[in-house]
Structure 1
Amino acid sequence: MMAPADLIELWRGGMRESVHQGHAVVADARGIVAAWGDPGAVIFPRSSCKMIQALPLLESGAADAAGLTAEQLALSCASHNGAAIHTSRVANWLAARGLAESDLRCGAHMPADKDENKRLTCSDESPCQLHNNCSGKHAGFLTLNQHLRAGPEYIEVDHPVQTAIKSAFEDVTGETSPGYGIDGCSAPNHACTVTGLARAMAAFAAPQGDSRGRAMERLVQAMCAFPELVAGEGRACTNLMRAMGGRVAVKTGAEAVFVAIAPDRGLGIALKIMDGGTRASEAAITAILVHLGLLDADHPVVATYLTGPQKNWRGIVTGELRRAPGFAG
């Protein structure tokens, strides 16, 4: 097993203060194009693999039978902010299927969206499961579950919904998963290597003409068309997709995982920051996108996540993030 590579550094006062290590792979249909750290490192992809988890929704015919829109497909891949644009759409989706918020199994948490968070904080209303960042994914699970006519506990690892997802996951990663963990939304999350995750993203970038390929293409197109539904205002996924004009789909996962799908180049990208730092995963994916020519180095979003100065609470410049020597340079 290879050691993780230095990917992102924080400098202060002319000295390197911190370093974020990790693993990253760029792949195409033929294999690895570039790699840093250990391509064989086993990780939990967390929410970065939601487009894989959505494949059975389309491949089964459930999405078309339910008349799902591109917006709903984007939400099925989302880790959203719980803003009104997210919760209202998920609520309407459930209602159209004869379902309710109580049918979800993702749990409730306060939304990341500032306006909705303030509204709840200043009222007697508690957050509900619609506010969960994974509620769109779970609405997709429920839609698939209705199509399969299976039981209500769709998050159980041996439930038909989850066995279909595991099968799709192992197919597109090209690996037998060594195990699974329970994600923040209570669904199983299957492990794979960083290469396997990049391989899957490359498959989404250059889909075949079969039913799976058409499902992959529809999901990527939905994400790129509605970046505000995939994450939300102020989020890296939304901002990066907008900056690239809908040509590249990107998706984060908890504990500093990030993926990207670049159909124009047939490339898939996957990375994991070992300390779980979101600051570093956002900087690292930005660095790779610039390195590959997918993102203009002069676009303001690059300064937001990578090259811009670090400031303290008084607005004084205190340091900067840098690509580590040898990484995406």
Structure 2
Amino acid sequence: MLRRLALVLAVVLGAGVLATPAAAASGSCLPTGGGPRCQVWTGKAVRVGDGDTILVDITGDGRNNPRWIRLINVQAMELTVYSTTPSRRRGHCHAVAAAARLEQLLRAGGGVVRMTAQHASSSSKNRPLRAVQVRIDGQWRDVGLDLLRRGLTLWQPFKGEYAWNASYRTAQARAARDRLNLYDTDACGSGPSQNAAISAFVNYDAEGQDDKNLNGEYVRLDNASASAVPIAGWWVRDSGLRRYTFRAGSVIPAHGSVYVHVGKGRDTATHKYWGLTRPVFDNPTDDAQALGDGAYLFDPRGDMRAWMQYPVGAPVATRAPA
């Protein structure tokens, strides 16, 4: 992924120079202050990878080359075609829009970024995990929070980097409530069974130990419609990149349900098996870490058709309109 991005991405942002070079310092994780303490870096963003990855020349890091930075706790849909010309970009539904909004925010801040993390070693695929803030109209603004508020990314908590979870999960829940972007069930065009009333439920806490009872962790899809809904080619996923794609012949029965169990087993008409070897859905916490996740159902056009975020944190719609 990094190699491909390095070869094809060259979105150079506007001018902006830091007055005083500085290595990592200590400060508030959040642009508004408060919360736990973080290590803080500054730098100049020079390229946008996609809706959750940027290339940054970090001030005072002793390196002669910029580094790819992965935004903390957000997950954008994937681009498939990268270009310096935005109109030439292609990707999954909402991927192009997320990259464009991130680019817009970085340009508005002159490319100068403030990056924070609770642990300098936090990373994803060799990319440092950092919350990224840009200064617009005299105030630092968290780009991840902006993307979540607009419904352009999913909330993806990382253990150990929790300072943003409470505000991020609330931002996602409000975007879902308001049917913004990802939560507009026909944003990418009318899909199959578009008017079906489908909802999602995730059983994230299996009986006993989650890693000993993988099939006790499952996603249930409910169909409140009077007609069965064929779902071959549809998929469910968590906030990461893990997905289960429904095989030919799969349907959600009228006024019935289909289960996707995390572990292994023999598929039936209403019980499917993801085939994973460890739990997918982290249990939520009510402490300062504010952990959680979600389950999301997508149709073949890439529209999200049903979802369940947990814990909620704000009212969340989980059913497509009848």
TM-score by length of 1: 0.28
Structure number, greater radius of gyration: 2
TM-score by length of 2: 0.29
> Which structure's residues are more often helix, by fraction?
1
